[in-house]
Structure 1
Amino acid sequence: MTLHSGLPASGELDLPALDAVAMSYAHRCGDDAREAARERLVRSAMPFAGRLARRYRGRGEPMDDLEQVARLGLLKAVDRFDPERGAFTGFAAATIIGELRRHFRDRTWGVHVPRRMQELSIEVNRASTELTAKLRRAPTVAELAERLRVDEEDVLSALETAAAYTPLSLNMPARAESEAELGDLIGGSDVGLEAVDDRLTVASLMCRLPERERRILALRFYGNKTQTEIATELGISQMHVSRLLSRALAWLREAMLSDAPRQWQAGNGPGEQHEISVRRRDKGGLVRLDVSGEVDRDTADPLRAALLEAVEVAGSRPAPREVAVSLAGVPIIDAAGVSALLAGLEAARAAGVRLRIGDMQVFVRRTLRVAGLAPVLAAPHA
């Protein structure tokens, strides 16, 4: 909205004369006479509004914009003037200054800050200019606080707030002769940081799973292997891998949402039970144990019992010369199964019986070597 057209500034009147024009306008009757008196008052008060606008120049706003805001304030003052409440010039000055301050508060700040801090920032800037001219140096925070009669902390906050008036563009160069922009230096949100708690929780819960389930989860999510590849490596079916994986993930999800996770139990659902078979054959001084099935903490006890029984001297039956254990039918063995084999080895040594373990799959052999059973790994006697 432009107010130059139709309202040219005439010779400036002093304040008493301007108040007299306003009183004449206030007491006019009739639409035409009142409109003419209003036009004359506005024209006469234009220089007055311009003088108030010039008080705010040098603060980053074009002078033309400030004059437009002052003239809008003048029109509001003319339309709201009530002669019974005081002189026109006092009322008009307060209205125009209020419009100018509102303009600076609502339209010129690049970042929104509280109104109190906006006004204090303006006052600090004005006081700094005046004290610099008076002291011939930059004033201290204490001097500004004393001049404005505020706390030093408020002055510091106002100085920091001033930076929000014209914030730097994120598209400006970060350094001279550099193609990088300031926006490139701002870090993004770290999604991994939000997952730290979940990762720690999963790590602790993984330790509570059997070795078989831990290995399947590791191959699937850390080794990026398919269920078919996992089944081939472990020597079991793909459907079995799928069931074990689903059961382990369901338990992990439930445990993460529970303050007191329930203990892992094998065979949580139909079709999930797994057992081992230990078949014994005696031939002279040789005892052969053919083991088949997954050997874990749920199924290791039968293997332990069979080993201890094989090396035991029962009645008139002498201890065998050798116990050969065939693990050809064992696709996977965990720490509980290894513990059962170690218990059998100790019992065999105590009884003077030779123990040999053979016919095992690659993963099982690797597990037993790590467990320290390499000296007894060999093919069993026929």
Structure 2
Amino acid sequence: MKTLSKLIVREDALPEPRPRVVGWGDVVGREGGGLVVLVILFGALALASDSFLTSGNMANLSRQWAVYAIIAVGELLVILTKGIDLSVGSVVGLTGAVAAQLLVAGWPVPLAVVCAAGAGAAVGVVNGALVAFARLPPFIVTLGMMGAARGLVLVITGANTIQPLPPGFSAIANDTVGGVPNLFLITVVVILAAGFLLRRTVFGRYVYATGSNAESARLSGVPVPRVLVSVYAISGLLAGLGGVLLASRLGAGVPTAGESYELDAIAACVIGGASLFGAKGSALGAAAGALITSTLNNGGNLLGVNSFYLRIAIGVLILLAVAFDQLQGHLRTSRASPS
């Protein structure tokens, strides 16, 4: 009985996997690293190109960043549980195609948007169920879903671009409010909502606890399977939202939309301070990582830099971010161990 009582832990006794009030040490150590890189990058590009800080280019950059950031925030929730979602790029293409097909068939814009985003969430639920209940590796599950969803896109569209789409749908991504692009505003809302969910709710504590040690979390009363299904569902939902917004921005349902976006989302999370070993990262960090990669691409285009070199630069940033995370882990271990 004594042994059993030690395993039963009340919900309010569940340890905080990460502090809810982030101190300066945490900011400088993780999310702040990405923000410092971002400030340096903005300063360098502002000096290198007179066009970089213009209002037109900033609006263009915010639109480029928005879709990547939304997908990266969804990917972050999965990474926090020590998982990975390789299907988000295909979900972007699938949901954009679904929305386009429904609009061409005469569906109202709001209903088409909701159904398309719901399709993304449904893909996420399938991924989460296979990971949580069938206990299949997240890499294999989402790799298979990546191929299946991309194939479904090609079936739905017949490998053809779907257009034209109603002006009301294109206005979602291309209009502005007081000079601020709609895409930017939508993305800020998503980031704030995800930040609140992770930092100020019991579910957020469950996510970090699951990524820290799933078995210990389960013994502490955390409903680990439901948490896993939920994070994959949210990832699919946000990828679906990103696909709808991308289709709105392009004014068409493109069957190849979202290709390689899964790699960009993972890169954004890692560059923004998330750990692929789980339980470390924030929505702000993922958004900052997405802005770094978007700024590199935007600045490279302005300066006429070969896009292949930009991919190399992003790859080097990923390696540096992972090395920095490993170094921090070793430092914490050495400080904790008795001398």
TM-score, normalised to structure 1, is: 0.19
Query: Which structure has the larger Rg?
Result: 1
TM-score, normalised to structure 2, is: 0.21
Between Structure 1 and Structure 2, the one with more helix by share is 2
Higher relative contact order (CA 8 A, sep 6+): 2
Between Structure 1 and Structure 2, the one with more strand by share is 1
